[in-house]
Amino acid sequence: MIKLLVVEDHHLVRVGLRGILDDAPGIDVVGEAENGEQALAMTRSLKPDVILMDISLPGMSGFEISDRILRQDPEVRIIVLTAYTQPPYPARLLDMGVSGFLTKACEAEELVRAIRTVHVGGRHIGKDVAQQLAMALLPGAPRSPFQSLTPREMEVALMLADGRRVNDIASLMNVSPKTIATHKYRIYDKVGVDSEVALLREAIRHDLIEAGT
């Protein structure tokens, strides 16, 4: 039996997922989390085999949650299920160690297949996401400046754009403020900005976060 944890902040989406997964033989939804803190706590207590996770959650970003969960339990498999498919997201999250990436437009059968695939050590990338990754590699393809960031820089960039202070980010990531400050100025240089306000503006312009979040 595959022990599955669902991490999704929208109740109706969780109900829909539960309806699909309760009918799937061999999959047991052992818990549902609404935010990153709950996801971390439930990962520790429930020991899921697979985590199905949105990356647009209140509080911690999907990058931060994925990084902390995978450091906490390197054996757990994470499948990202999201509406956010802009180029930096799939590549950076896959680099970070997630096992699957699907859009919320995927078919129920593909979702179940992805869960079973990652549970046995494989990877599953939705067709639309795979096509987008391939298109981004073509000569002349438009590039987001965020595509040049490493997974760790991307994680820090999203927290900076969210208004978090360097000291707070350092505490969350278990590193020194000096390390985060170094990441910050590398991010500024790569994205071509000189302030957190400008970084936020670019993140919104490239659809990495929604205006007003």
Question: How does pLDDT run across 107-165, given as a tens digit for each residue?
Answer: 999 999 999 999 999 999 887 776 666 555 555 555 778 878 887 888 888 889 888 89
| Residues of the chain where predicted confidence (pLDDT) is lower than 70 | 85-87, 130-142, 210-213
- Cβ atoms of 35 and 60 within 8 Å: the answer is yes
Structural domains of the chain sorted by starting position, each given as residue range(s) with its CATH number in brackets = 2-136 (3.40.50.2300), 145-205 (1.10.10.10)
